[in-house]
Structure 1
Amino acid sequence: MIVFWCGTALMACIILLIVWLPAVRTGKIPNSDIRKNTNIALYHRQMALADKQFGNSEKEKFLLDELKQEISISLLQNIDSSAPQLPLNSSSSRLFIIPLIMTALVLLIPSLGYGLYGQYQQSAEYSQQEHTDPFAGMNVEQIQDRVMTELQKRIRQAPNDSDAWFMLGQRYLNGNEFDNALIAFDRTEKIRGQDAELLTAKAATLYYQAGQRMTPQAKTWLNDALRLDPNHVTALMLLASDHFLNAQYQQAIDIWQSLLDSNNPKVNRVKLIEAINMARMMK
């Protein structure tokens, strides 16, 4: 901040000097020069007029010399006398309009700059405090523990938060804690009821708990999920994987091809093509 204000002050001084110096030099004309030139012109006119008023007689020449002497003395006195500067005329006054405007801008811009700089500082501090990566420097286990802690904290604060319960169940499923996953999914179902996503998650839990075997209950939940949403990607992928593992390659290819043809943005097309090609090779 000190650097900001020092730089601003230095720049303002330079700008004011550049703006005002030409205006001051142009707008102020020394009154002594104007008075001197005026007196000299008046002197010449008085001398010419005196020559016309007197003739060539001795007396008139004597009077003419005395008059010219008085005119010369008067000129010297007027030149030596000091006088204040003449006021500037309207045209020279206009020379100061632009410098005045520039001065106002020079004084105003730093204030605006400070306001913007302060807002930028607040925004930068907010970004550093609120938008830094919360998982920076953590390994996978630490990240999972952090997520679990945050979800449990969220559930304690809002016990009927079905999204939090569902995400908690997914975290348990990913960690192979199948019993805890089913408990979390059952709690989710009590809060928001059944849907294709929840039924698929429960079916997947039983499927992986049984060592990637489709148990009767898992099959029931999976069929219920597809009945609610026939195009549910996760349910179809789980069913296709089960067909592939049981050497039912054509059934797996049919499901993967239908997902590929659906142009669903949730589908990984590269992985599907690889899976289809592998299933064709296994046939």
Structure 2
Amino acid sequence: MTTFWLAMLFFIVIALLIVWRIFAAPKNTIGAENTNIRQETNVTLYHEHLANLENDLAEGSIEQESYTQLKAELDKTLVQDVDPNQAQAEMNQRRSMLWPLAIGLAIISLSLSTYMTFGAYPQLSSPMALNEDPHGQLPPEQMLAVRLQQLEADVEKNPKNTQAWFSLGQAYISAGEFDSAIKAFDTVMEEVGEYAELLGPKAQAMYYKNDQRINSEIQIVIDKALALDALDASTNILLGMDSFSNSDFANAVKYWETVLNSGRPGISVQALTGAVEEAKNQMRISGEMAASGVESVVDDSLPRIVVNVALAPNVQEVLMNSEDKTVFIYAVAANGPRMPLAAVKIKASDLPTSITLDDSQAMTQQMKLSSVDRVSVYAVVSMKGSVGIKPGDFKAELLDIATIQKDALTMEISTQVQ
């Protein structure tokens, strides 16, 4: 910081020297010479006129009184010719001193104010800025790379630091370096022995390395971990992820809720809760919720809509000789985004049936039935099995319905979408 201010002072001094050099330079030489010639001519004429007066006085052409008067006027003329030039020169000198002084002050003021406003002074003068993480503004990938370098330096400096090795293994998983992660966890277990808290992360690294599939080798590590601790977070989260990827949503909920209910520290409750809700939502859409025995707790005071859904005769005739079609019943905000606030997926062969739409079927925690006052309800027979209303599908709709409904609504799917 001191070096910066010295450099800044140096450049300001250079600027001031340039300004002073310009104003201290000699003025127009021709003008100065012209002024000197004029003054010399005036003096010469003065002496000539004075000599003529003295000759006239000596010859008696003029009297002493006239001589005195004429000499006084001659002296006065000489003074008037010389003094204004001297006064103007003095004034010019005073002005020439004021200009460089004013410009110097302007340079200093402008330099300081510009740096205070646009430079790094606000950050340097803030104590918090000096204490912030120097890597805080890096992208996540670069931050992870810096973290890996730090941990690798730690274990190289102290190979017996098991905590650093464990953290390094976790960082390797985040970086996708699964072989290095497995080696790091094995290094820790060589020092402290096999524990579920170490076997679980190792199983995760092996799982990701094997393209997210559990093979016999990974299963051995999982079994070891669960035998040591049936509530181990890493192992149960891994089993939940594998179940979810295989559409076994009931088991995914079971494994993840095991972790949530364990009450152990270091668990990302918010992320895990979101995963559980997503798995339950997939179960609702696929109609597995009731059969699975997974509880769906909904507050009775919250809005819910009961809909009796049936197929019109013309639609029954079309579907009679085709494979069983998927039917989506869902509610969206009457005046808002088209994201479903509650949705159920069933088969056409299940109709007629009664469906209840409520917050337990919400896609997200922010967008649910209780978040709006009025909705539009749709029942759609999807001819291609995909979400949304497409040409060729059959539909029924109830527009602008209050979310608090005491009586059941009736919907008959009859209209084909063009």
Taking structure 2 as the reference length, the TM-score comes to 0.35
Cα deviation for residue 153 of structure 1 reads: 1.4
**Residues 1:159 and 2:159 aligned together:** yes
In the alignment, which of 274, 281, 294 is matched to residue 277 of structure 1? Answer: 281
1:223-242 superposed matches below 5 A: 223-242=223-242
CA displacement, residues 149-208 of structure 1 (integer Å, 9 cap, x when unaligned): 111111122110011111111111111111111111111111121111210111111111
CA displacement, residues 126-162 of structure 1 (integer Å, 9 cap, x when unaligned): x665x42232221122111110111111112211001
Aligned to 1:221: 221
CA distance in 2, matches of 1:170, 1:263: 22
1:212 match: secondary structure = coil
Provide structure 1 residue ranges, at least 5 long, that are not aligned to the other structure: 1-123
CA distance in 2, matches of 1:271, 1:252: 9
1:115-194 superposed matches below 5 A: 131-194=131-194
Provide structure 2 residue ranges, at least 5 long, that are not aligned to the other structure: 1-125, 289-418
CA distance in 2, matches of 1:141, 1:260: 29
Aligned to 2:210: 210
Change (3 A) 1:248 1:168: same
CA distance in 1, matches of 2:284, 2:223: 26
More strand by share: 2
Cα deviation for residue 249 of structure 1 reads: 2.8
Letter in 2 for 1:133: D
Given that 1:250 and 1:279 are in contact with CA atoms closer than 8 Å, whether structure 2 keeps it comes out as yes
Number of aligned residues: 158
1:225 match: secondary structure = helix
Letter in 2 for 1:152: E
Given that 2:185 and 2:202 are in contact with CA atoms closer than 8 Å, whether structure 1 keeps it comes out as yes
CA displacement, residues 224-259 of structure 1 (integer Å, 9 cap, x when unaligned): 112222112221111122122223332223323444
Given that 2:204 and 2:234 are in contact with CA atoms closer than 8 Å, whether structure 1 keeps it comes out as no
Aligned to 1:100: none
Letter in 1 for 2:193: G
CA distance in 2, matches of 1:260, 1:192: 27
CA distance in 2, matches of 1:132, 1:203: 36
Given that 2:249 and 2:282 are in contact with CA atoms closer than 8 Å, whether structure 1 keeps it comes out as no
Given that 1:243 and 1:249 are in contact with CA atoms closer than 8 Å, whether structure 2 keeps it comes out as yes
CA distance in 2, matches of 1:233, 1:280: 26
Letter in 2 for 1:227: A
Runs of 4+ aligned structure 1 residues displaced above 6 Å come to: none
CA distance in 1, matches of 2:140, 2:129: 23
More helix by share: 1
CA distance in 2, matches of 1:192, 1:141: 31
Change (3 A) 1:134 1:257: same
Given that 1:256 and 1:272 are in contact with CA atoms closer than 8 Å, whether structure 2 keeps it comes out as yes
Cα deviation for residue 263 of structure 1 reads: 5.3
Change (3 A) 1:132 1:206: same
Letter in 2 for 1:144: L
CA distance in 1, matches of 2:258, 2:203: 21
Letter in 1 for 2:215: T
Letter in 2 for 1:160: K
Query: Larger deviation: 268-277 or 159-168?
Result: 268-277
Give the superposed CA RMSD: 2.3
Cα deviation for residue 262 of structure 1 reads: 4.5
CA distance in 1, matches of 2:152, 2:169: 11
Letter in 1 for 2:182: L
